[in-house]
Amino acid sequence: MYRTLLALVLALTISVADAAGLLNTQAVESAAFTEKLPSKEVESPLTVKVEVLLDRAHFSPGEIDGKLGENVEKAITAYSEAHGLTAGGNLTGELWAMLSADTRPVLTAYVLTENDLKGPFLKKIPAKLEDMKGLKAIRYRNVREALAEKFHMSERLLAVLNPQSKFNRAGEKIVAPNVIAHETGETKRSVAKIEVDKQRQTVKAYSQSGDLLAFYPATVGSEEKPTPDGTLKIISIDANPTYRYNPEYKFRGVKSKKAFVIGPGPNNPVGNEWIGLSKEGYGIHGTPEPSKVSKAESHGCIRLTNWDAVQLASMVKKGVPVEFENSQAKGSHQL
């Protein structure tokens, strides 16, 4: 077992080292569109650049990981629709020209602070919900996870962009996606309607005039607790929510027959943001596992990355309608 684990760690280290040789600030900043698209399995400078530009335009690719995957394609599709392009989910020269009109640096230097390092952190997060109920808060596991979420990226990409960093010293300079500074001074967007597509696993936010203001990949519903049809309304917006387990839902892996509450934090089952809807137990919320958004079941609600949930919450208010649709048919809080 030890040899197997050692081999896996070594393989991952080599993989990160190899990727780091291709992914650096110069390569990402100078990346440009070519007819030959990047691989969906391997990180590329062009994909990192596209993901950052989409994120800054409010068309979220989910977790920025450098791979041209399904969530990036969904964001490209939404961006194309919003701008009257015919690209669909494909990265085309026309779409690239519009995206790359944003000429601000794609990556930024960030200096680690004492606050970044001191946490507090929760090194081992219980796998079972019942085992979380006695904890005061479900915090980040470590500095790397906190930094990755701060910059909307995967922990692996953080390591690839900073191959020499140990993330353990105040004053240490790292490189990360430039997705924070652009929000400062930005005109606040006001969302008048949210559309949740249960089939495509997406969330779209519209203005009063019908313009698409923001897009997010999402995990929508489950067999245990199907997401509702029709239209609901936002009834609450809560940062750092607690999570209340309702035994009536009988989630797989939960044995408790009594309700219990789990403390707040980014690794709480509903993440660090809750947008409550007008059906008990349903809401739009964050997640402790951003890499699984749009790729794994939710317990009936609408799950976004933590940062996307926070962004959406900043643009809505109570009373905003949330319409649940199915693209095939068309043509304390609970998860």
Q: What is the pTM of this model?
A: 0.91
State the catalytic residue, choosing from 152, 285, 299, 333: 285
State the catalytic residue, choosing from 58, 152, 299, 301: 301
The correct answer on CATH 1.10.101 for the domain covering 2-99 is yes
Check for a shared fold between 2-99 and 193-330: no
- In the residue annotation, 58 being an active-site residue is answered as no
Grouping H, G, I as helix, E, B as strand and the rest as coil, residue 182 is helix
For residue 125, is it left (φ>0), alpha (ψ between -120 and 50) or beta? beta
Q: Where are the domains of the chain?
A: 2-99, 107-183, 193-330
pLDDT tens track of the chain, all 335 residues? 444 444 544 444 546 656 666 799 999 999 999 989 888 889 999 999 999 999 999 999 999 999 999 999 999 999 999 999 987 889 999 999 999 999 999 999 999 999 999 999 999 999 999 999 989 999 999 999 999 999 999 999 999 999 999 999 999 999 999 998 655 556 789 999 999 999 999 999 999 999 999 999 999 976 666 788 899 999 999 999 999 988 887 787 788 889 999 999 999 999 999 999 999 989 999 999 999 999 866 556 899 999 999 999 999 999 999 999 987 644 455 55
Enclosing H/E stretch for 50: helix 45-56
Query: Which one, of 333, 279, 285, lies nearest residue 312 by Cα?
Result: 285
- In the residue annotation, 285 being an active-site residue is answered as yes
**CA–CA separation, 229 vs 78, rounded Å?**
22
Grouping H, G, I as helix, E, B as strand and the rest as coil, residue 256 is coil
CATH of 193-330, one of 2.40.440.10, 2.40.50.140, 3.40.50.460, 3.30.365.10: 2.40.440.10
